[in-house]
Copies of this chain bind each other. A is one copy, B any other.
Amino acid sequence: MDEINEAIKKFQKELNGGTSSLVLLSVLDKAESPMYGYQIAKLIEAETKDVDIMKQGALYPVLRSLESTGLLESEVEPSVSGPPRRYYKITDSGRTTLAKWIEIWHQTRQFVDAVIEGGDDD
């Protein structure tokens, strides 16, 4: 059973690797103003009714990585109720990248579904 559990965890991790960047960039593309991590987590939870797929702690490294590659930019602002917050917004490069990522996502989704459903769906 150990090898099966390992394989399941590895798959989930690999799949999340690509999709978490797509999801975060997409949320910030639609946002009307810059958002901080906790806000983003709450919005995703509300839209997907799912708390498990993307745990809140997993957001932060992805946000930082998207910023380091120039797809997001951020600013720290003081908060009245606690420590300062880092607000993220999407950049022009981020928007261009997101459009291509969505295209790749759709192609990959169609490809995978065609194989696992064993037919041709389009």
Task: Give A contacts to B, CB under 8 Å.
Answer: 3-4, 6-8, 11-12, 14-19, 21-23, 26-27, 30, 44, 47-50, 53-54, 69-71, 93, 96-97, 100-102, 104-105, 107-116, 118-120
- List, in ascending order, chain B residues with CB within 8 A of A112's CB: 19, 22-23, 105
Number of copies: 2
Do A69 and B6 touch across chains, with their CB atoms under 8 A apart? yes
Shortest beta-carbon distance from A35 to chain B in Å: 14
A12–B120 Cα distance when bound, in Å, is 22
Answer whether A18 and B22 are a contact pair too, CB < 8 Å, given A48-B114, A107-B53.
no
- List, in ascending order, chain B residues with CB within 8 A of A120's CB: 47-49
